[in-house]
């Protein structure tokens, strides 16, 4: 069966994306997914506007938050035919030494749509069949959601899910999320679902107001408070709520130098700092604080595919809300949407939806 599709290609930094026709064909172990929706991520903007290098040479279709339906399958992947799926943002090979030892997020043969392979700002995408996350459409409908909306589970939700799970957040913990929009907003909700009391910090009043209704027990405007005042406010909140003054869980989701400095300044004894956001900017810190506080810091690169079903369950069970934080746009408006997101004119997660 021959499929006619089109995709939007990045050809150069700061150049408009260009529409191009193509015919997706699966190889052995691969599937073709007819895309229902693809979310616009901060990382996509980094490639297009900031010159962050992609592993695949240009031209390249960006986009790594993909949901859709399998419409073609190669050898050994036929079981996926017709199924609604979410495509993990990071697809490990599953066969190398790292994968065999459970270190799939650092698999050196991993495939990230829109970075290693052609991505999701298209009508179709060709991806390995290994690791796809099937979507239960009955539960999806019961949750009042459509398939395009859960595209953002791939990365925007699963990356903070992996960070919260890996950090070891438990009921009664204090979690602090720096950057309360996008990935950070889902981090707030997930940490709350894990039983933590969550403090959200941002410079955008609208984002703070929105997340105050979805898991944030305290919101702080970083424009009105310096680092010392923020730490004092968090400490006062912890005391008021009967939470420990030690072992805070700090999630840096803003992807800004200022946010990273704020997050690092919140270290306390036994703290865990999780770096979730990305920026090309450099910051100057006193690394010895980690030693003095007996604290730990680690990065987060995606989520193993096996973690996707549990993350999706949080959404389908109503523990994490996505509908208030996403908005649909026609795929053919992608250049306008990218510009608007880049200039912070769109506050919600934009999801690009192919139209006939």
pLDDT digits (tens, 9 = 90+) for 165-211: 999 999 999 999 999 989 999 999 999 999 999 999 999 999 999 99
Rounded-to-integer distance, Cα 299 and Cα 251, Å: 10
Number of neighbours of residue 258 by Cβ within 10 angstroms: 16
- State if pTM tops 0.75: yes
Mean pLDDT across the chain, nearest whole number? 96
Judge whether 352 and 35 are in contact, CB under 8 Å. Answer: no
Check residue 16 and give left, alpha or beta (phi > 0: left; psi -120 to 50: alpha): beta
- Note the pLDDT tens digit of each residue in 80-93: 999 999 999 999 99
Q: Name 307's Cβ contacts closer than 8 Å, sequence gap at least 6.
A: 158, 161, 162, 165
Alpha-carbon distance of 205 to 207, in angstroms, equals 5
Residue 347 has pLDDT above 90, yes or no: no
Q: Which two tokens stand for residue 286?
A: 């006193």
- Tens digit of pLDDT for each residue in 21-41? 999 999 999 999 999 999 999
Q: Which of the four pLDDT bands, split at 50, 70 and 90, describes residue 103? A: very high
CA 104 to chain centre: 17
pLDDT over threshold 80, residue 356: no
CA distances from 34 to 95, 196, 329 (A): 27, 38, 17
Average pLDDT over residues 227-238: 98
User: Which pLDDT score, from 0 to 100, does residue 95 have?
Assistant: 95
Coil, helix or strand at residue 206: helix
Q: What angle do CA 110, 115, 121 make, to 5 degrees?
A: 120
User: Angle CA(277)–CA(280)–CA(286) in degrees, nearest 5?
Assistant: 80
CATH class for domain 158-299? Answer: alpha beta
What value does the mean pLDDT take over residues 299-303? 95
The residue extents of the domains of the chain are: 5-155+303-353, 158-299
Percent of the chain with pLDDT over 90: 97
Q: Is the model's pLDDT at 1 over the cut of 90?
A: no
Per-residue pLDDT, averaged over 46-56, amounts to 95
| Chain-centroid distance, C-alpha 151 | 10
Whether the ω angle into residue 59 lies within 30 degrees of 0, i.e. cis, is: yes
4 pLDDT higher than 80: yes
pLDDT at 79: 96
DSSP code per residue over 226-273: -HHHHHHHHHHHHHHHT--SS--EEEE-S-SHHHHHHHHHT--TT-EE
Q: Which CATH architecture has domain 5-155+303-353?
A: Alpha-Beta Complex (3.90)
Residue 326 in this model has a pLDDT that exceeds 90: yes
Rounded CA gap, 87 and 102, in Å?
A: 20
Q: pLDDT tier at 280 (50, 70, 90 boundaries)?
A: confident
Per-residue model confidence as pLDDT tens digits over 246-269: 999 999 999 999 999 999 999 999
């Amino acid at each position: 069966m021959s499929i006619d599709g089109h995709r939007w290609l990045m050809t150069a930094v700061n150049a408009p994306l260009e529409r191009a026709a193509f015919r997706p064909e699966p190889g052995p172990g691969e599937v073709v997914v007819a895309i229902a929706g693809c979310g616009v991520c901060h990382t996509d903007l980094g490639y297009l506007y900031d010159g962050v290098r992609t592993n695949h040479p240009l031209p390249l279709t960006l986009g790594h938050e993909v949901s859709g339906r399998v419409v073609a399958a190669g050898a050994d992947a036929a079981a996926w035919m017709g199924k609604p799926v979410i495509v993990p943002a990071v697809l490990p090979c599953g066969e190398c030494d790292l994968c065999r030892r459970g270190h799939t997020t650092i698999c050196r043969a991993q495939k990230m749509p829109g970075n290693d392979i052609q991505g999701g700002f298209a009508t179709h995408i060709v991806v390995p069949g290994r690791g796809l996350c099937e979507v239960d459409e009955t539960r999806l409908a019961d949750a009042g959601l459509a398939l395009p909306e859960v595209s953002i589970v791939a990365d925007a939700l699963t990356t903070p899910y992996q960070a919260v799970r890996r950090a070891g957040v438990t009921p009664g913990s204090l979690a602090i999320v720096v950057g309360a929009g996008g990935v950070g907003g889902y981090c707030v909700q997930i940490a709350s679902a894990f039983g933590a009391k969550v403090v959200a910090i941002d410079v955008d009043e609208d984002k703070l107001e929105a997340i105050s209704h979805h898991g944030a027990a305290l919101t702080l405007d970083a424009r009105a408070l310096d680092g010392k005042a923020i730490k004092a406010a968090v400490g006062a909140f912890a005391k008021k709520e009967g939470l420990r003054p030690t072992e805070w869980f700090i999630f840096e989701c803003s992807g800004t130098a200022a946010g990273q400095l704020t997050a690092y300044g919140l270290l306390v004894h036994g703290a865990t700092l999780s770096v979730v956001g990305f920026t090309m900017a450099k910051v100057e810190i006193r690394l010895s604080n980690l030693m003095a506080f007996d604290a730990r810091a680690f990065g987060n690169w995606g989520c193993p595919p096996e973690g996707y079903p549990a993350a999706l369950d949080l959404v389908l069970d109503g523990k994490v809300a996505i509908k208030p934080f996403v908005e649909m746009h026609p795929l053919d408006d992608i250049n306008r949407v990218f510009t608007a997101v880049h200039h912070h004119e769109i506050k919600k997660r934009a999801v690009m939806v192919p139209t006939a």
